[in-house]
Structure 1
């Protein structure tokens, strides 16, 4: 049962439900109205100029009618606002942060995700919740993961092409193409935009070593805030630069190691020891930054947060590049070949696919026409 009440002379609407209250302003409700005079019925895009609505707009009345709010505004506008749309304003489910002891094991099957919407939705929701998912049954061809990428969104092309090799080569143009171990890092912080998701497909992994590591950067940020708030504040404010350069490419960008959203919560982590280029800031700022970076480094490289795994041929990791840090142990080719294929998919197309599939699943469950 939802109770509706007005406050502040009608400029605020309050919904009381299950011992919780949510408050909305009259002006926000007016510009979100879905009636055909306010929004185009086909596109859902706004037809009125929201910036021209009266700043002192208020609600004359509000009542709950058949799972909707019947609203009457002071400018004469009337509309029925779907009640559930207000209650579900936070679209995405919460993320589940983890350390090594509580690390999840989200799994998906390539063929099922490729052919079944429910399986694909489950894979994408696991990716959003846990920051990674392990996919099995990927075809052994060099571009074997491409059909599933195409079902979600366009493959992100970079100066390395689309799906690229990750294996040891002579005259390597990047340290990923060597046998050395790689410290925990996020990919490509020198790009704008930074690639959202890493797809890493194993074709062969018989080399000695070469195990992959994952660490939840959001959990690291949470622990840093609890244990060393000064370091957390420093890493969310100071903006190091990052650069990649070769004979044909020169990429540069900047941003904090811990980027916060409008609520002050981590929304992206950056960490790339190989490509970071810290500007010559004031000495006291640099002293604080270097100490804070070390504290963060100790967290993301420590066993408390590090998940170890080794991909088998036909397996693939999909990794949230805004949240997780990944790395690998050094390997020796005496035991055999280590050959991975890697591609990127951006966040907007991935989130869009997940939300559309979720909406369709909810529509089918309710029995309403799609």
Structure 2
């Protein structure tokens, strides 16, 4: 509840009974007003013309309502009173810390036990949030008892968002094929990597459904890229700084396309929090840099890649027919052991923004 409010020339300061404090500039408060003339609740869109707001507008009066749950503000521009809730102030304070779901980093020995979920439970109204929470927190989940067809992949994808079209199509299947210009279509070992480092907006999720397995080997390999980053940041900060600043170019050349994109192995946001791991030694393009920076870069990716290939950091599992692996391609590196025989996979990608949207709708972030 709100204890006190103080009006200044260009801002408002609020104090709560739990001793929290926050302040907001007048122009910000007026721009973010949620009254019917300023905000369209139906479409969740702003109605006011921000550029026409008086840059010198001020608060004539601010009064706490008797229940302490909101403040009535009388503005100078239209001489109107607009109500702001305590929840609005708290959630939009720069000091606010969300209590919503967070990542659970893992290694081989710390992979959470409940990494499997049944298909029917995953697509049910009640079970979907459990499935989504597993995927968000750990970066991956295995859905069991799927039907061995594209429909299973499509149903899971559509619960989250929609299937992303790429150079491989929307829903796709693959077996070993020497005619394809991609290492995934071989029977050779695939070391841990993320997909589409050559795309400006790499897919957020990848779904892989095993529909045929008459082979030996071919286990799926997963590594928590955020855990690798945490280890390097703690133990070798100089290499971490290289991984977060040196932009690496990824390329896909073949099948009539030439795709290229550039970003650091570890991408940070403006608060210096890690938001994306982007590492694929197969698709890394030629780069030209001075010798000093080049040496540091190789030192950094050597450290990163050796950890990614350390079995103590890997979760390994042979997908059986009817098992669908889904993982966060912005966090979890994936690979595959070499195999002999026949192995057929159905799959698709989902955009990161659609995964994030689904998590927000379900109150996870």
Q: Residues of 2 paired with 1:139 and 1:85: CA distance? A: 46
SS of the equivalent of 1:255 reads strand
1:353 aligns with 2:364: no
Q: Summarize the alignment of residues 216-365 of structure 1 with structure 2, pairs less than 5 Å apart.
A: 216-333=224-341, 337-358=342-363
How many corresponding residue pairs?
355
Deviates more, 1:198-207 or 1:27-36: 27-36
4+ long deviations beyond 6 Å: none
- 8 Å CA contact retained: 1:12, 1:58: no
1:123 aligns with 2:126: no
Query: What's 1:84 paired with?
Result: 87
1:47 aligns with 2:47: yes
Structure 1 residues 24 and 318: CA distance shift in structure 2, 3 A: farther
- Calculate the TM-score normalised by the size of structure 1: 0.87
Query: What's 1:175 paired with?
Result: 183
Structure 1 residues 120 and 244: CA distance shift in structure 2, 3 A: same
Structure 1 residues 349 and 11: CA distance shift in structure 2, 3 A: same
Query: Residue by residue, what CA displacement relative to the aligned partner does 1:85-128 show, whole Å, maximum 9, x if unpaired?
Result: 444454853222222222223332222232x2221122112211
Structure 1 residues 123 and 23: CA distance shift in structure 2, 3 A: farther
Query: What's 1:106 paired with?
Result: 115
Runs of 5+ in structure 1 lacking a partner? 360-370
Q: CA RMSD in A?
A: 2.5
Query: What's 2:62 paired with?
Result: 61
- Calculate the TM-score normalised by the size of structure 2: 0.88
Q: Residues of 2 paired with 1:112 and 1:277: CA distance? A: 43
Deviates more, 1:101-110 or 1:80-89: 80-89
Structure 1 residues 48 and 263: CA distance shift in structure 2, 3 A: same
Structure 1 residues 263 and 73: CA distance shift in structure 2, 3 A: farther
- 8 Å CA contact retained: 1:203, 1:313: yes
Q: Residues of 2 paired with 1:311 and 1:4: CA distance? A: 59
- 8 Å CA contact retained: 2:71, 2:86: no
Q: Residues of 2 paired with 1:289 and 1:324: CA distance? A: 21
Q: Residues of 2 paired with 1:285 and 1:52: CA distance? A: 49
Structure 1 residues 31 and 111: CA distance shift in structure 2, 3 A: same
Deviates more, 1:8-17 or 1:168-177: 8-17
Runs of 5+ in structure 2 lacking a partner? 93-97
Structure 1 residues 15 and 189: CA distance shift in structure 2, 3 A: farther
Q: Residues of 2 paired with 1:149 and 1:265: CA distance? A: 28
